[in-house]
Chain A
Amino acid sequence: MLAPSAAAAEPLVTLPAPPFELPVVPPVSGTWTVMVGIGGAYNPDFEGARRSMLSPVPIFSLRRAGSTEQFRGPRDGASIALIDFGDLRAGPVGKFVPSRKANSYSELNGLGDVKAALELGGFVEYFPADWFRTRVELRQGVVGHHGAVADFSADVIVPVIQRFTISAGPRFTWESTGAISPYFGINAVQAMATRLPIFDAKGGAHSAGAGAQLSYWVTPQWEAHSYVEYERLLGDAAKSPLVTIRGSPNQTTVGIGASYSFDVRIR
């Protein structure tokens, strides 16, 4: 995406210089671009659910004026590139998986809660050309579940005009038993409470699908975007009675949002 600079006008706000500076931290003086916005995501109630729900998503970012936001997909974890050759980037990545409350949805009654999870690991992305990104994230659950997750994606990034970009590509996810079983396994107690059959969910291919997103800069300050991500659950995630009896292996997320960027100058 080639986003127009938000610094197309004088800074909206000028703030005084901080009273002191830390020697190891770069000075904050200069112009910064603040992006604020709101979006909505219409995604499945829980992984494997048949129904979806619209939820608000806040948008906020702060960066040096003119610095570009690298292309990112809606499924990407939060990451920072400690190794950056331009076409090859790598670094740590983290992802937060919200808790699944059994009393929130009738399909989950009797299954018990699944705690929120934090997955930490690393990512590598490679651009064979400026318009084609491949990315893999390997994450290990450190809080909540303790399984391993590998996310693979590829995106063709097509700037239609300077301010309008379309991107799309395939997705694939592999998960270990430790990452799948809390969400798709059904033990004897849960089986008695739900009348679902006992199911021992094992690791393996978890989902495959595709995603696409659009981004349009209406003006140098206003941006609008939307995306759709479809994934088909595979392996034991798809075979789980939670999915076969009460849910669906077809999982679609649709998102839309708009943001406004303005500059702040710090003396």
Chain B
Amino acid sequence: MRRGSRCVSLATVIVVAVSAGACAMFETRETKLQAVKTVGILSAVGGEMSFAKAGLTGLNSRSQSFPIASWGLDDLIVQQVAAALSGRFQVQPVSYQRAAFAAIEDSPVAPVNVVRGDPFKKLVQTEVSPQGLDAYIVITKAKSNFGGGARKVEGIGFITFGTLLASSDHIHALYEIRVIDGKTFDIIEKMAAPPLDKAATISIAGPSRTIDESFAASTGNPADNDKLHAAIADLVARSLSTTLSDMHLAETR
């Protein structure tokens, strides 16, 4: 009996010690974020917009991309994130090579991504000035499967889903937000923007909405389509508050 209670006591001590050690070793994001005072915000999401088809399509259904940098989506994102974070952090302007951040692609071979680590850590080290802020908020394109087939969508896009009886048009704004430690360049937090509540009628891993035919680009450059521009900007704006809240960066939800 006494031997049994000694074993229980020893086990309790071990459990408490391991728990305390684990808590000390693996700081929570909140703990790390508490030390952050100054942040810089970078966005490389809105350079181009893809147009794709999914579902019942022809055999050659490659997507097309058009430049939409003139919409100024990245500036809008930086402004909105800065506004959301300014109550908690001191937001400082930063300069960076937007194209370098936009050009980063995940390898289709998953183990390669694990081995090479997060490429944005190095970019923040080499392509952003000033250095020395406590953290950098980096917003870049995210990727998602669309439907159960082969189609993948990324960043800002317009996709037509064809079915036997009808087709529907959807827009998406897929992005992910990283908080990178300004001293160690470790990732404090990383999250892809989730779907918008009550707005998602399709399964896509990010903000999206169904649109009617009046949004479709009839001819020419989609950058000239003001209605599409407004819809995408609205999608980004509405999703940012949810994502920043989920990341514990802002309590704006």
Interface residues of A (CB under 8 A from B): 1-5, 7-10, 17, 19-23, 26-27, 29-31, 64-71, 81-87, 127-131, 133, 157-162, 165, 220, 267
A127 touches B150 (CB 8 A): yes
A20 touches B23 (CB 8 A): yes
Across the interface, B145 reaches (CB within 8 A) one of A19, A70, A83, A159, namely A70
B61, B144, B150, B205: most-surrounded residue (chain A CB, <10 A)? B150
Nearest Cβ in chain A — how far from B106, in angstroms? 9
With a CB–CB cut-off of 8 A, which chain B residues contact A128? 59
B144 touches A87 (CB 8 A): no
Q: A4-B201, A130-B54 are in contact. Are A84 and B148 (CB under 8 A)?
A: no
B83 at the interface (CB under 8 A from A): no
Please report which residues of chain B, range 220-253, place their CB below 8 angstroms from some CB of chain A when the two chains form the complex.
Answer: 246-248
With a CB–CB cut-off of 8 A, which chain B residues contact A160? 163-165
Sample of 9 further A-B pairs with CB below 8 A, known A85-B108, A131-B56: A5-B203, A30-B191, A64-B194, A65-B194, A86-B152, A130-B57, A130-B147, A131-B149, A159-B56
Across the interface, A29 reaches (CB within 8 A) one of B25, B168, B248, namely B248
Nearest Cβ in chain B — how far from A29, in angstroms? 6
Please report which residues of chain B, range 184-218, place their CB below 8 angstroms from some CB of chain A when the two chains form the complex.
Answer: 189-192, 194-195, 197-198, 200-206
A7 touches B56 (CB 8 A): no
With a CB–CB cut-off of 8 A, which chain B residues contact A220? 201
With a CB–CB cut-off of 8 A, which chain A residues contact B146? 2, 68
Nearest Cβ in chain A — how far from B51, in angstroms? 15
A87 touches B150 (CB 8 A): yes
A interface SS class:
loop
Nearest Cβ in chain A — how far from B210, in angstroms? 9
Please give me the residue from chain A that is nearest to B187 by CB atom. A23
- B-side interface residues, number (CB < 8 Å): 54
Q: A8-B197, A30-B191 are in contact. Are A157 and B202 (CB under 8 A)?
A: no
Across the interface, B26 reaches (CB within 8 A) one of A20, A31, A64, A161, namely A20
With a CB–CB cut-off of 8 A, which chain A residues contact B190? 26-27
Q: What is the CA–CA distance of A9 and B195 in the complex, to the nearest angstrom?
A: 11
A162 touches B168 (CB 8 A): yes
Please give me the residue from chain A that is nearest to B163 by CB atom. A159
Q: What is the CA–CA distance of A84 and B151 in the complex, to the nearest angstrom?
A: 11
Nearest Cβ in chain A — how far from B165, in angstroms? 5
Q: What is the CA–CA distance of A86 and B108 in the complex, to the nearest angstrom?
A: 8
Q: A3-B203, A161-B164 are in contact. Are A127 and B197 (CB under 8 A)?
A: no
Nearest Cβ in chain A — how far from B10, in angstroms? 23
A161 touches B109 (CB 8 A): no
A161 touches B200 (CB 8 A): no
B202 touches A67 (CB 8 A): no
A29 touches B247 (CB 8 A): yes
A27 touches B29 (CB 8 A): yes
With a CB–CB cut-off of 8 A, which chain B residues contact A30? 191, 194, 246
Please give me the residue from chain A that is nearest to B210 by CB atom. A162
Q: A21-B26, A84-B110 are in contact. Are A64 and B205 (CB under 8 A)?
A: yes
With a CB–CB cut-off of 8 A, which chain A residues contact B203? 2-5, 66-69
Nearest Cβ in chain A — how far from B140, in angstroms? 16
Nearest Cβ in chain A — how far from B252, in angstroms? 15
B166 at the interface (CB under 8 A from A): yes
Q: What is the CA–CA distance of A130 and B164 in the complex, to the nearest angstrom?
A: 14
Across the interface, B148 reaches (CB within 8 A) one of A4, A17, A20, A69, namely A69
A161 touches B165 (CB 8 A): yes
Please give me the residue from chain B that is nearest to A85 by CB atom. B108
With a CB–CB cut-off of 8 A, which chain A residues contact B1? none
- Enumerate 7 A-B pairs (CB-CB under 8 Å) in ascending A order: A1-B147, A8-B201, A26-B190, A81-B110, A130-B56, A162-B163, A162-B202
With a CB–CB cut-off of 8 A, which chain A residues contact B197? 7-10
The 8 closest A-B pairs by CB, nearest first: A127-B150, A71-B148, A66-B195, A130-B149, A5-B200, A1-B148, A87-B150, A159-B163
A30, A66, A69, A160: most-surrounded residue (chain B CB, <10 A)? A66
B57 touches A129 (CB 8 A): yes
B28 touches A130 (CB 8 A): no
With a CB–CB cut-off of 8 A, which chain A residues contact B166? 161-162
B28 touches A7 (CB 8 A): no
B194 touches A31 (CB 8 A): yes
With a CB–CB cut-off of 8 A, which chain A residues contact B28? 17, 19-21
B111 at the interface (CB under 8 A from A): yes
Nearest Cβ in chain A — how far from B104, in angstroms? 17
Please give me the residue from chain B that is nearest to A82 by CB atom. B110
B96 at the interface (CB under 8 A from A): no
Please give me the residue from chain A that is nearest to B166 by CB atom. A161
